[in-house]
Amino acid sequence: MRIISWNVNGLRAAARKGFGAWLEGSGAEIVALQEVRARQEQVPRDLRRRPGWHFDLAPAERPGYSGVALFSRRPPDAVQHAVGEPEIDAEGRLQLARFGGLLLVNGYFPNGNGTNRDNSRIPFKLRFYRTLYHLLEPHKEAGRPILVAGDLNTAHREIDLARPKQNRDTSGFTDEERAELDRWLTNGWVDTFRHFEPGPGHYTWWSQRFGVRERNVGWRIDYVLASPGAMPFLKGAAIHPEVMGSDHCPISVEVSDAIVEEKAFP
């Protein structure tokens, strides 16, 4: 069973670049999208009502901003879009979807840059991280299989970006942002890609400046995090830089079909 996560940098733009054909050929059971930047009525009809797929969208209140969406071969048993914090909920950054025993979180974590690229949104970003962490903690401690998939907007270690020394003060690689992600990973969550691949040169986002992606001067800021309860079902993880259409590329995990069975979480 394949689960894919992709920041598409605008679903309407992605649709014009062949997203529908990619979706059909992806081999995925679930596709989690971030930065959709569209409301329900703005999503192309052939995607909203695509045969064989269930579609769920959590848009931002602000037009043309943020938003997350799920395509799934089976409808989720339940989907939650809000966490009870108005400032977070207004930005359309979360879907918590239950598929049998699996809790899948599709998250578009905030960038810490303010309007003047001044790191002024880092406090909000950290509050988002902590709110979600505390929301999921009881489920994690109870042993539920949970996957947190999405654009976490943070490179965890120096190996996760091409130019760490030049970006020490850049949002996405500041000490406080990295420490927050580190808190997740030292308290039971597993970075699924690094579980299988310890080596350098693997990135998921590249600046759109000319030649940057071709030279692979990137950042790994997209992740699938697995709870301890999900780890027995994990079979593989990958990054797909060959897939174009966005400044991010898709990432994926392969999991046993049993993860969605009710007995996966007694």
Q: Check: CB of residue 184 under 8 Å from CB of residue 207.
A: no
Q: Which residues of the chain have pLDDT under 70?
A: none
pLDDT at 179: 98
pLDDT at 205: 98
pLDDT at 171: 96
Q: What angle do CA 95, 89, 188 make, to 5 degrees?
A: 55
Task: For residues 102 and 148, give the distance between their C-alpha atoms in angstroms, rounded to a whole number.
Answer: 11
Q: Which of 95, 124, 96, 98 is nearest to 36 (CA)?
A: 95
- Which residues are designated catalytic? 151
- Structural domain including 241 reads 2-264
Q: Check: CB of residue 107 under 8 Å from CB of residue 81.
A: no
pLDDT at 232: 98
Distances (CA, A) of 98 to 6, 28, 30, 180, 210: 19, 17, 12, 25, 41
pLDDT at 117: 76
Task: For residues 115 and 124, give the distance between their C-alpha atoms in angstroms, rounded to a whole number.
Answer: 14
pLDDT at 108: 98
How many folded domains does the chain comprise? 1
* Per-residue pLDDT tens over the stretch 137-176: 999 999 999 999 999 999 999 999 999 999 999 999 999 9
One-letter amino acid for residue 54 of the chain = H
Token pair of 238, please? 């990958």
pLDDT at 41: 96
Q: Check: CB of residue 4 under 8 Å from CB of residue 36.
A: no
The partner residues of 94 in beta bridges, in order of sequence, read 107
Distances (CA, A) of 39 to 10, 30, 64, 184: 11, 20, 8, 31
pLDDT at 24: 97
pLDDT at 199: 96
Could you tell me where the DSSP H helices lie in 30-170?
45-48, 86-89, 122-141
Please tell me the pTM assigned to this model: 0.97
- Domain CATH code at residue 27: 3.60.10.10
